[in-house]
Amino acid sequence: MAHEAKKEYQKVVIDQDICISCGACVAVCPVQAIELDENAKARLIWDVCIDDFSCVKVCPVNCIWPTSQAPPEPKAKSKWYRFNAPLEGELKNTFEEWKKKYNVTGSPA
């Protein structure tokens, strides 16, 4: 059932150029779906995020948005998200649909 529901998740978009590496989003995420990357910038683990949007609320510089509310610039940037595991089958389709639906053109890390 949880896997079924995942289809509906919109995830979040992060603008790493605005991120000040405070770690608040990492600390608040209930499912460890955000990490600090090799440049200490917040990075989303796309397939783990469950849309509770705690990270959006705590970011002091407002550089995380629910994907439906994200401005176009960060959606065109790359490497602000990655996958926990290679996407297969239904989840891969869901990812492609998500990109199309929200016009996310940036590539994963």
Q: Which residues of the chain form contacts with ligand SF4 (CB under 6 A)?
A: 12, 14, 19-25, 28-29, 31, 33-34, 42, 44, 49-55, 58-61, 63-64
Helix (H) or strand (E) holding 25: helix 24-28
Nearer to ligand SF4, 9 or 89 (CB): 9
Closest CB 68 distance from ligand SF4, rounded Å:
12
Joined tokens for residue 29: 């995420």
Looking at the chain, how many residues does it have?
A: 109
Given a contact cutoff of 8 angstroms between Cβ atoms, the answer to whether 12 and 63 are in contact is no
Given a contact cutoff of 8 angstroms between Cβ atoms, the answer to whether 21 and 40 are in contact is yes
Nearer to ligand SF4, 22 or 107 (CB): 22
Closest CB 97 distance from ligand SF4, rounded Å:
18
Closest CB 83 distance from ligand SF4, rounded Å:
14
Nearer to ligand SF4, 59 or 70 (CB): 59
Provide CB contacts within 8 A for 18, sequence distance 6+. Answer: 61, 62, 63
Closest CB 57 distance from ligand SF4, rounded Å:
9
Provide CB contacts within 8 A for 32, sequence distance 6+. Answer: 45, 48
Nearer to ligand SF4, 49 or 104 (CB): 49
